[in-house]
Amino acid sequence: MISTNAKRISLRTIAKIGILAAVSFVLMLFEVVIFPAVPFYKVDISQSVVMIGGFALGPFAAVIINFIKSLLHLTVSSSGGVGEIADFVTGICLTVPAAIIYKRKKTRGRALIGMGVGIIMMTTVAVLANYYILLPFFSKMFHIDIADIVAMGTKMFPAIDNVFKFLLLCTAPFNFIKGVVCSLVCYLLYKRVSKVLHS
């Protein structure tokens, strides 16, 4: 009897993860360019669904939802996988710390602290990942000189004249804004959605 109940719970959890991943994938298709001069930096609210899954089902579920979403998005990707890698890595940094902190004590205050920690981690890791991995990889894959990428940022902010300033004035604000938007959506919707997920 216990084994049967455990299997039912497991199947329900898998089903919930699958549904959340599908919804997250669909939301990822509705991207908004917030820096017109840097068109590959697009904001979507798909990570809010991942965060909801992390709060309701735990941090490991957030990782799985994020991974499935990224795999699905590869089928329609125009970034050669670079965008998906960036979204997966930064998404983990945003949602997993938030889920871990919230899991220990499920209050609004803990949720906000978790979101704040996640936003900071997401922004920091995004800068480091872009500097050491993503921008060089993107440059080689699409045969675009990194100086040309920096020039995109210069169109918005004349002070940008090197990679470091590009990351500081474009990459960091973009990820910070995305983290705040996704966290806000999660905060507004979680209590309503969690009733369904816990039923």
- Distance, CA of 57 to CA of 17 (rounded, Å): 8
Q: What pLDDT, on a 0 to 100 scale, did the predictor assign at position 4?
A: 58
121: left (phi over 0), alpha (psi -120 to 50) or beta: alpha
Q: What pLDDT, on a 0 to 100 scale, did the predictor assign at position 8?
A: 56
Q: What pLDDT, on a 0 to 100 scale, did the predictor assign at position 183?
A: 97
Structure confidence by residue, pLDDT tens digits, 131-154: 999 999 888 888 889 999 999 999
> Where residue 179 sits, what CATH number does that domain have?
1.10.1760.20
Query: How many percent of the chain have pLDDT more than 90?
Result: 72
- Distance, CA of 154 to CA of 151 (rounded, Å): 5
Number of domains in the chain: 1
- Distance, CA of 64 to CA of 75 (rounded, Å): 18
Q: What pLDDT, on a 0 to 100 scale, did the predictor assign at position 49?
A: 97
Computed over every residue of the chain, the mean pLDDT equals 91
Q: What pLDDT, on a 0 to 100 scale, did the predictor assign at position 69?
A: 96
Q: What pLDDT, on a 0 to 100 scale, did the predictor assign at position 3?
A: 60
pLDDT average, residue stretch 170-188: 96
- Distance, CA of 4 to CA of 92 (rounded, Å): 32
The reply to whether the predicted model has a pTM over 0.75 is: yes
Indicate if the pLDDT at residue 1 is higher than 50: no
Extended beta strands in the chain, E state: 32-33, 42-43
User: 36-40, 114-118, 177-181: which has the minimum mean pLDDT?
Assistant: 36-40
Indicate if the pLDDT at residue 2 is higher than 80: no
Please say whether the beta carbons of 48 and 186 come within 8 A: yes
Residue 110's domain comprises 2-197
